[in-house]
Amino acid sequence: MSDFEDIQIFVRVAELGNLSAAGRELRHSAAVVSNRIARLEERLGVRLLNRTTRRVNLTTEGDVYYRHCLRILAEMQEAENAIANQKNTTRGPVTLTCPIAFGNKYVAPIIPKFVEKNPDVQVRLHLSDRLLDLLQDKVDLAIRIAELKESSLIVRKLAANKRMLVASPSYLKRHGIPKAPGDLLHHNCLLLRFPGSRQYQWTLLGSQEEGPVTLSVSGSMDSDNGEVLTRWCLDGHGIALKSHWEVGEYIRNGQLQVVLPDYTPPAHAVYALYPENRYLPTRVRAFVDFLVSEFGGTPPWDKS
């Protein structure tokens, strides 16, 4: 029977496509990882990976074996989670991912409060505006601010969140105030761009008679970081589509002005997502409950 650690190493190599990357994550040298894969292939009598100088790819047999290994690892994790839940222990790591600006502003500041109440839990916060695959990237929990698609993930709503178009008074003084959605086509629109982003198209909800309007907007500057767009907007470089949690304080103090207030983008609530699992670790469940208690009711960005 194959050594369980060999299976774990093989799965991470298959997912990362690189021996060195898998070795760094698992704290092994690339040589050790290569030897463990070779040992596994020798036991099975088949080649699992095709190797090049830069990347490794699954063979046909390797793909079949990989899918079976995922099930084995998932069942092992369920077994461990079931035991942990029976013991009712709140201990171990909680890995979560969330957007950079939201994480900096609202999540990072409250994590010490959770850890103080749960000293045996280690919270590992990964900030990224890109959407990670929770299963492939071994993430327990994600905070997403989006219109969610159907998936196998469990979803809990944390807070409501309005969105709006905003610009600085100086920009609007120089370029004029848009009166109708079509006017945006003649303005410098600041866009959030990264693989999978759809922000090059803005959808605005008007009156019931008009219905939604979708525009392919453009501008001279874009970024994969929401905080950069907010700064450009504050500095008078264009119009941005932002969430209220990002710009509420700037609207209240007059640094930004809502554009086309009668045409609002669809709201994107704040959600917690985690993999479907009958035996969700107590530590993860406790952290989700903590987030609900912190953001439930009136969210912090709606408090003046």
Angle at 103 between CA 97 and CA 105, to 5 degrees: 175
Same domain, 148 and 232: no
pLDDT of residue 88: 57
Q: Which of 250, 97, 100 shows the shortest CA–CA distance to 164?
A: 250
Roughly what angle, to the nearest 10 degrees, separates helices 60-87 and 4-16?
120
Q: Which amino acid is at 15?
A: E
CATH no. for residue 107?
3.40.190.10
Same domain, 126 and 185: no
Same domain, 122 and 73: no
Same domain, 155 and 187: no
| pLDDT less than 70: residues of the chain | 1-2, 53, 82-89, 135, 150-151, 194-199, 207-208, 277-279, 304
Same domain, 154 and 24: no
Backbone angles phi, psi at 223, to 5 degrees: -155, 160
Residue 303 lies in a domain: no
pLDDT of residue 277: 66
Same domain, 8 and 80: yes
Range of the domain at 154: 92-161+268-295
Residue 245 lies in a domain: yes
Answer for the pair 250, 256: CB distance below 8 angstroms, yes or no: yes
Same domain, 151 and 101: yes
Look at the alpha carbons of 262, 203, 177, 162 in this order and tell me if their dihedral is positive or negative: positive
The residues near 94 (Cβ < 8 Å, ≥ 6 apart) are 121, 122, 123, 124, 140, 141, 281, 283, 284, 287
Domains of the chain: total: 3
3-state secondary structure of 204: strand
Residue 174 lies in a domain: yes
Same domain, 106 and 248: no
As given in the structure block, the two tokens for residue 73 are 């690892």
Same domain, 153 and 29: no
CATH no. for residue 66?
1.10.10.10
Q: Where is the domain boundary, 36, 55, 85?
A: 85
Q: Where is the domain boundary, 61, 85, 109?
A: 85
pLDDT of residue 17: 85
Same domain, 223 and 273: no
Residue 287 lies in a domain: yes
CA–CA dist 82, 141 (Å, integer): 18
pLDDT of residue 3: 76
Helices and strands (H, E) in the chain, number of each type: 10, 14
C-alpha dist (Å) from residue 164 to 245, 265, 297: 11, 6, 21
Residue 186 lies in a domain: yes
pLDDT of residue 134: 74
Question: Strands of 222-223's sheet, edge to edge?
Answer: 222-223, 189-192, 239-243, 163-167, 257-259
3-state secondary structure of 125: strand
pLDDT of residue 53: 67
Residue 263 lies in a domain: no
CA–CA dist 85, 65 (Å, integer): 30
Residue 284 lies in a domain: yes
Q: Which of 128, 132, 133, 120 shows the shortest CA–CA distance to 93?
A: 120
Residue 197 lies in a domain: yes
As given in the structure block, the two tokens for residue 124 are 């590992």
Same domain, 254 and 173: yes
pLDDT of residue 244: 92
pLDDT of residue 71: 86
Same domain, 97 and 68: no
